[in-house]
């Protein structure tokens, strides 16, 4: 285990520095390079999409890459004039963290602070791309504190999330090993204290992590072509990537790992810090027999827990599926639910080779996703299928960021909608960070559109949690935010509710078309359809131009857009 410190996770002001996890980045960067050797060496050209031509272009991009376009970030992107330059700048920003805030709150069983700081960061911190990627990764490398043990490990949960943020632009291989050895994952998928077979006790290794690391984190169930389309056998049938026997082989690999700083394999006196430092090997419980991995590769007998783990993660990392599998999931989180095979293929190619012969470079993958022609122009080139249903909590974050929401006057600086507890956002919307019901995330990547015809392949993952109840309660939360919890709210009445600031909009509301153009750009990325625009225009023209009337124009126009079906979809 590497013992380097300091530069791995530069989180300023951290109460506790994040401990290093897994091999040092440098070693793994080299590993990535080494592994790339011998792969197809066609020249790799990463996309370098230009820049936004209009503010609406900027909003489209920012809604994919951040938690919502704000006037400030729109201006920044327009003045940079280049998407690529904006990404460059994002990469230089200090990662914001959740762990220090939660540790300061001083109760590892209280999950409220974890949600508070997550919202506060996405509202106030500039490292938006990193945070958006961390949130996306938290839905791939899933852990959830619905698990009752993790509900009491809030420092560990935060440490895990901050790890995803810190690694968002590093190498996939590094992140995969950090995730594998994180005790929060160890608890969640029971690799922690997974022990070798013992015939005398009639026990055998736990298959949980072995199965899910393959199925959900890296390669999926079916052999994929480089463009993410399933490969088929001579009978035209898809080809499974692994079978039960292989799961059992990997289960043997992932044996022998325990909390750091415990006195024995079963010691239940677990220091708090051991819930956030990488698991350590206890060789007595590691299965040292030979193992057969993907593609028939074998690990000889006699390896240590770390040696076997390294070999197995290398084996997985080099499987041809990882690039297209991960590309597809990330594209769905950021850009579109139904990417073309060509788009997946281009992002997968960036995964395979970042242009410098390195496999698994997540910075290159992120760039490839956001700068791809399909991401930038899909709304015009494939208008019938392009886009995604927004994750429910992002409808709120987009409205808050568009209108510079300010937290309630309470000292904690927390952003809350009308409901008094921020955790209620989960009740209202059906989604909360690291709160999915299982390792299968909030929704499945192949969730069909409800009522779609049998055989339809068009999917809408997020619709899985858009229940009739949540649609209504989310709508009502946004409606309340727009009409009541804005800057005009009496200070005495507003605690502890966040307020959106609508003064700029009120100031332009004297000219209805100026107002509508502005809101169309800010909220709808210039895609407000003509019928809805006309209906809103007719409605708000009935309001006079006194102060009350101007505010009514603004709130009606905003709700008309935000409450409409078009705001559920990001195109």
Partner 1 sequence: MTNPPLTLPRSTTTRRRFLAMAGTAAAGVTLSTMPFGGPARAAQTTGPRTLVCIFLSGGADSFNMYMPLDHDVAGQDYDTYRTTRGGFAVPATDILPVGNGDFGVHPLLPSVAALAESNRLATVVNVGPLARPTTKADYLAQKALPQNLFTHDAQRKLWQTGQSTLTSGQGWGGAVANSIGTPTGQVSPSFSIGGSNVWQSNTDTTYSRLSPTVRIQRLAGYDGSLWNWIPSLSEMEGVMASALEEAAGSTNILDQAASTTIGQSILATEALQEATADTEANEVGMEDLGRNRLALQLQQVARLIKNRSSLGMDRQVFFVRIGGWDTHGQQAERLPVLLSGLNQAIGSFQGALDGLGVADSVTTFTASDFGRTLTINGDGTDHGWGGHAFVMGGAVNPGAYGTFPSYSLENNPDDVGENSRDFAGRLIPSTAVCQHSATLARWMGMTEAEIDQTFPELGNFPTRDLGFMR
Nearer to partner 1, 74 or 562 (CB): 562
Question: Between residue 35 and residue 64, which ones bind partner 1 under the rule CB under 8 A?
Answer: none
Write down the least CB distance from residue 437 to partner 1, Å.
Answer: 5
Instruction: Report yes or no: 571 and 527 within 8 Å, Cβ to Cβ.
Output: yes
* Residue 511 in tokens: 């000219």
Q: How many CB atoms lie within 10 A of CB 138?
A: 22
Q: Out of 389, 414, 497, 508, point to the residue binding partner 1 (CB under 8 A).
A: 389
Select from 556, 544, 479, 488 the least CA-distant residue to 516: 556
End-to-end CA distance of the chain: 45
Nearer to partner 1, 6 or 233 (CB): 233
Site string for partner 1, 128-167 (x = CB under 8 A): ------------------x--x------------------
Select from 47, 46, 57, 45 the least CA-distant residue to 81: 57
Judged by DSSP in three states, 203 sits in: strand
- Span of 164-172, 351-359, 487-495, 533-541 interacting with partner 1 by CB under 8 A: 533-541
Q: What is the CA radius of gyration of the chain?
A: 24
- Span of 308-316, 325-333, 414-422, 453-461 interacting with partner 1 by CB under 8 A: 453-461
Q: Out of 166, 407, 555, 558, point to the residue binding partner 1 (CB under 8 A).
A: 555
Q: Out of 94, 272, 381, 427, point to the residue binding partner 1 (CB under 8 A).
A: 427
Q: Out of 112, 479, 496, 526, point to the residue binding partner 1 (CB under 8 A).
A: 479
Write down the least CB distance from residue 132 to partner 1, Å.
Answer: 20
Residues contacting partner 1: total by CB under 8 A: 84
Q: Out of 425, 448, 524, 525, point to the residue binding partner 1 (CB under 8 A).
A: 448
Q: Out of 190, 289, 307, 421, point to the residue binding partner 1 (CB under 8 A).
A: 190
Which stretch of DSSP H or E encloses residue 505? Answer: helix 503-508
Distance of CA 77 to the CA centre of its chain: 22
Task: Give the Å distances, CA to CA, from 509 to 124, 399, 504, 537.
Answer: 27, 18, 9, 11
Q: Out of 3, 201, 380, 490, point to the residue binding partner 1 (CB under 8 A).
A: 201
Question: Between residue 251 and residue 280, which ones bind partner 1 under the rule CB under 8 A?
Answer: 251
Nearer to partner 1, 89 or 146 (CB): 146
- Span of 30-38, 44-52, 97-105, 463-471 interacting with partner 1 by CB under 8 A: 463-471
Task: Give the Å distances, CA to CA, from 153 to 160, 183, 268.
Answer: 11, 10, 14
Which stretch of DSSP H or E encloses residue 569? Answer: strand 569-570
Q: Out of 444, 495, 507, 514, point to the residue binding partner 1 (CB under 8 A).
A: 444
Q: How many CB atoms lie within 10 A of CB 375?
A: 26
Give the separation between CA 8 and CA 23, rounded to whole angstroms: 10
Question: Between residue 324 and residue 363, which ones bind partner 1 under the rule CB under 8 A?
Answer: 337
């Amino acid at each position: 285990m590497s013992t380097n410190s300091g530069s791995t996770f530069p989180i300023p002001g951290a109460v506790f520095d994040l401990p290093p996890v897994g091999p040092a980045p440098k070693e793994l960067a080299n590993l990535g390079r080494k592994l790339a050797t011998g792969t197809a060496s066609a020249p790799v050209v990463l996309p370098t999409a230009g820049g936004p031509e209009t503010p609406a272009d900027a909003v489209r991009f920012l809604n994919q890459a951040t938690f919502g376009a704000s006037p400030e970030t729109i201006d920044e992107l327009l003045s940079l004039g280049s998407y690529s330059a904006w990404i460059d700048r994002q990469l230089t920003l200090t990662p914001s963290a959740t762990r220090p805030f939660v540790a300061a709150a001083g109760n590892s069983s209280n999950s409220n602070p974890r949600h508070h700081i997550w919202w506060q960061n996405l509202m106030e911190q500039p490292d938006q791309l990193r945070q958006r990627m961390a949130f996306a990764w938290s839905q791939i490398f899933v852990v959830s504190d619905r698990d009752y043990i993790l509900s009491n490990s809030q420092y560990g949960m935060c440490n895990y999330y901050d790890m995803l943020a810190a690694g968002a632009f590093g190498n996939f291989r590094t992140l995969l090993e950090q995730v594998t050895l994180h005790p929060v994952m160890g608890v969640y998928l029971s690799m922690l204290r997974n022990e070798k077979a013992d015939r005398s006790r009639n026990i055998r290794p736990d298959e949980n992590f072995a199965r899910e690391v393959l199925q959900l984190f890296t390669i999926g169930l079916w052999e994929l072509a480089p463009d993410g389309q399933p490969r088929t056998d001579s009978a035209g049938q898809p080809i499974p990537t692994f079978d039960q026997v292989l799961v059992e082989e990997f289960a043997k690999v992932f044996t022998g790992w325990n909390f750091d700083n415990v006195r024995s394999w079963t010691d239940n006196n677990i220091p708090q810090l051991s819930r956030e430092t990488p698991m350590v090997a206890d060789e007595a419980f590691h299965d040292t027999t030979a193992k057969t991995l993907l593609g028939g590769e074998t690990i000889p007998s006699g390896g240590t827990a770390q040696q076997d783990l390294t070999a197995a993660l290398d084996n997985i990392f080099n499987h041809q599926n990882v690039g297209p599998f991960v590309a597809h999931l990330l594209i769905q989180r950021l850009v579109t639910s139904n990417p073309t095979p060509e788009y997946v293929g281009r992002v997968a190619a960036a995964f395979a080779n970042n242009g410098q012969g390195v496999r698994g470079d997540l910075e290159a993958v992120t760039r490839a996703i956001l700068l791809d022609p399909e991401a930038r122009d899909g709304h015009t080139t494939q208008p019938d299928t392009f886009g995604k249903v927004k994750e429910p909590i992002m409808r709120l974050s987009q409205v808050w960021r568009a209108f510079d929401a300010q937290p309630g006057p309470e000292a904690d600086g927390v952003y809350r909608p009308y409901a008094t507890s921020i955790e209620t956002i989960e009740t209202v919307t059906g989604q909360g960070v690291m709160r999915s019901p299982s390792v299968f995330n909030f929704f499945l990547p192949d969730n069909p559109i409800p009522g779609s015809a049998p055989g339809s392949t068009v999917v809408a993952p997020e619709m899985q949690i858009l229940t009739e109840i949540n649609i209504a309660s989310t709508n009502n939360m946004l409606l309340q935010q727009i009409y009541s919890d804005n800057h005009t709210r009496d200070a005495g009445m507003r605690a502890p509710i966040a307020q959106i600031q609508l003064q700029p909009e009120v100031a332009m509301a004297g000219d209805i078309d100026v107002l509508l153009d502005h809101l169309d750009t800010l909220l709808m990325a210039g895609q407000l359809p003509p019928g809805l625009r006309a209906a809103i225009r007719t409605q708000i023209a009935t309001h006079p131009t006194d102060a009350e009337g101007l505010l009514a124009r603004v709130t009606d126009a905003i709700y008309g857009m935000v409450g409409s079906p078009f705001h559920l979809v990001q195109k």
